[in-house]
Amino acid sequence: MARIEDLVVVKDFATTLTTPKTKEIIDALGRLDVSATSKVLIILISPSEAVQRSIRNLETVKLIAADQLNVFDLLHANKLVVGEDALAKILHSFPTRRSSDLRSRRIGRFAGKRAQVKKAVVRLAEGNSIQLFPES
């Protein structure tokens, strides 16, 4: 994610919540300097039923499990609140690749095509010659 300042990683998000209370979720987001009126994506490893019910009352806040993460939700959100264990699962599921790990391949107009003519550079020793066309 290019906007690292929009990412908030938390250790235990609403793990002590036993009954569904939307106000507690709003207060928790406020303590994290995340406005509940902006589009917020909360990613947890396994959200409890109380957390799910509390968040579903908020129009601009979406809750998703770490194994259900998708690009649309990531791009649609203005702020991300990610649980520490969910972040570990995401990093394990989607390993990063370095450019040195990727093999180069032909793309575009010449994809999958090989040259029909073989080319070579030949240097002759002094005094030698190659006759290209036979003399008739």
Residue 79 lies in a domain: yes
Residue 116 lies in a domain: no
Give yes or no for a contact between 25 and 14, defined as CB atoms under 8 angstroms apart.
yes
0.85 surpassed by pTM: no
Q: Say how many domains are in the chain.
A: 1
Q: How far is CA 52 from the centre of its chain?
A: 24
CA distances to 68, 77, 92, 112, 118 from 83, rounded to whole Å, are: 14, 16, 14, 44, 58
What's the average pLDDT block by block, 10 residues per block, for the chain (136 residues)? 76 78 86 84 88 87 89 89 87 69 58 68 82 74
Residue 134 lies in a domain: no
Neighbours of 105 (CB within 10 A): 7
Residue 74 lies in a domain: yes
Q: Which domain holds residue 17?
A: 4-93
Three state DSSP letters for 80-109: EEEEHHHHHHHHHHCCCCCHHHCCCCCCHH
CATH number at residue 66: 3.40.1370.10
Residue 98 lies in a domain: no
The whole-number pLDDT of residue 1 equals 44
